[in-house]
Structure 1
């Protein structure tokens, strides 16, 4: 079962989503996401990023001269890093696990 969700065992983590900022991508508040830190992030991937020390889950969009983290909910802003802002792409989201009661 774990081989379906985990490609790089030593670099894969589970994180619980804390806000509904990605509902249009099927990721809801309280879901578990599988995050692979060994994958190279590409434009269009859903990623976990650290912006000024805070974790966020967003879709990565990158052109030659601009990077944007796109929210999957119109109630949440997209993030375009400002000059001097610290942004790190922490890992690529590979799966979302939902739990039904």
Structure 2
């Protein structure tokens, strides 16, 4: 896995994700998307005419999600902020 994608393996519930709404969703870019009403972080994949969302978490065996007319990409993931408990 490339260094660029490795950081998305560590997204945790409660993390704040900074999204570049003007960012270009190129092949291999991490994006924030809405699929069937649920917001999800995925890797945008393209091969020929086929477009799909691949799991950003390589530690789990999540299926690819076909890109449909209902799929909405909010933008490219630009950064992540995590709050740590101090106590």
TM-score computed with the length of structure 2 as normaliser: 0.72
Map 1:9-24; keep pairs closer than 5 Å.
none
Shift of 1:70: 1.1
Q: After TM superposition, what 4+ stretches of structure 1 lie above 4 angstroms from structure 2?
A: none
**For residue 74 of structure 2, what is the aligned residue in structure 1?**
90
CA deviation vs aligned residue, 1:49-81 (integer Å, no higher than 9, x gap): 122333211111112211121111424332123
Shift of 1:46: 0.8
More strand by share: 2
Alpha-carbon distance in structure 1 between the residues aligned to 2:36 and 2:84: 34
Shift of 1:100: 1.1
Q: Describe the SS at the equivalent of 1:76.
A: coil
Shift of 1:96: 1.0
Alpha-carbon distance in structure 1 between the residues aligned to 2:18 and 2:50: 27
Shift of 1:93: 0.5
Distance of aligned partners of 1:38 and 1:24 in 2 relative to their CA distance in 1, 3 Å threshold = closer
The aligned length equals: 77
Alpha-carbon distance in structure 1 between the residues aligned to 2:22 and 2:8: 26
Map 1:1-101; keep pairs closer than 5 Å.
25-71=9-55, 72=57, 73-81=59-67, 85-101=69-85
Point out where structure 1 has 5 or more consecutive residues left out of the alignment. Answer: 1-22
